[in-house]
Amino acid sequence: MHRIIKEKLPRHIAVIMDGNGRWAKKNMLKRGMGHEKGAESVRTVVKTCRELGIPYLTLYAFSVENWQRPKNEVRALISLLETYLRTELGAMKETGIRLFTIGDADSFPKTLMDLLSRAKEETSENSGMVLTLALSYGGRDEIIRAVNNILRDSKSSNIGEKMITKDFFSHYLYTANIPDPDLLIRTSGEYRLSNFLLWQMAYTELYFTDTLWPDFSRDDMIEAIVDYQRRERRFGLISDQLPKD
């Protein structure tokens, strides 16, 4: 913890929580148990980020592609999300966490949708940290949705060709009110983005670890942040052009 430079904290950390299934297999358990243990890691990571004072944490909990998994696994994931919301709402309120979602959450069963609406509503005044859950999320789907919404709006307002700037476009994404991630963490030794925040990650620092998500601890989160703080973010410039810190 003392290795972290308070002034250089990432403003937004995004996480691809991967490896629940392999963790279960390694421990000779059913995949569902891996997801359950993974939910424990979610609790730990949320708590750690809140304590450190990270303003935005985004967790990839369910991709649009994940709908194609076996039905019982999809059901188990949904029920685990429901349990998570039921058990964590109190803690979110106490610790000043605001819940937000990105993705096509309307595709979930009503029980989950209601729990999400309630949790979002009841935490909407909180300003400690924005916890965003990516649910039924896909980066390409998000971009296509933005294009379609711009087309729709262009019918009732005069949106001209030149008006579509990066900023303008960003406002049509699910993440309109969230800054781009500074740090992406992916667990389980996979080196890919799996359709996560494609537009937003243009200049995100990527951190990959072999640790499986259910084993990801507070120390692992601290390690990822320390690693991030050692990097030089040049955004296309050369070192000499960057502000000295």
Distance separating alpha carbons of residues 216 and 122, to the nearest angstrom: 29
Contact status, residue 77 vs residue 17, Cβ threshold 8 Å:
no
Interaction residues for ligand IPE, span 127-186 (CB under 6 A): none
The residue (of 20 and 175) whose beta carbon lies closer to ligand IPE is: 20
Residue with tokens 């359709």: 195
131 binds, among ligand IPE, Mg ion, none (CB under 5 to 8 A by kind): none
Exactly one of 20, 66, 177, 180 is catalytic; name it.
Answer: 66
Element housing 220 (H / E): helix 218-229
User: Shortest approach of ligand IPE to residue 26 CB, angstroms?
Assistant: 9
Count CB atoms within 10 A of the CB of residue 219.
11
The residue (of 18 and 220) whose beta carbon lies closer to ligand IPE is: 18
62 is a contact residue toward ligand IPE (CB under 6 A): yes
User: Shortest approach of ligand IPE to residue 45 CB, angstroms?
Assistant: 13
Contact status, residue 55 vs residue 130, Cβ threshold 8 Å:
yes
66 is a contact residue toward ligand IPE (CB under 6 A): yes
Q: Which amino acid is at 157?
A: S
Distance separating alpha carbons of residues 95 and 177, to the nearest angstrom: 21
Among 104, 141, 180, 190, binds ligand IPE (CB under 6 A): 190
Q: Is 167 a catalytic residue?
A: no
Contact status, residue 24 vs residue 33, Cβ threshold 8 Å:
yes
Tokens encoding 86: 């039921």
User: Shortest approach of ligand IPE to residue 33 CB, angstroms?
Assistant: 11
The residue (of 54 and 134) whose beta carbon lies closer to ligand IPE is: 134
Q: Residues in contact with ligand IPE, total (CB under 6 A)?
A: 18
Among 18, 142, 182, 220, binds Mg ion (CB under 5 A): 18
Burial class (CB in 10 A: 0-12, 13-18, 19+), 175: buried
Q: Which residue is nearest to ligand IPE (CB)?
A: 21
- CA 198 from chain centre, in angstroms, equals 12
| Active site (catalytic) residues | 18, 66
Residues lying near Mg ion in the complex (CB under 5 A): 18
Residues lying near ligand IPE in the complex (CB under 6 A): 16-22, 60-63, 66, 77, 188, 190, 192, 194, 213
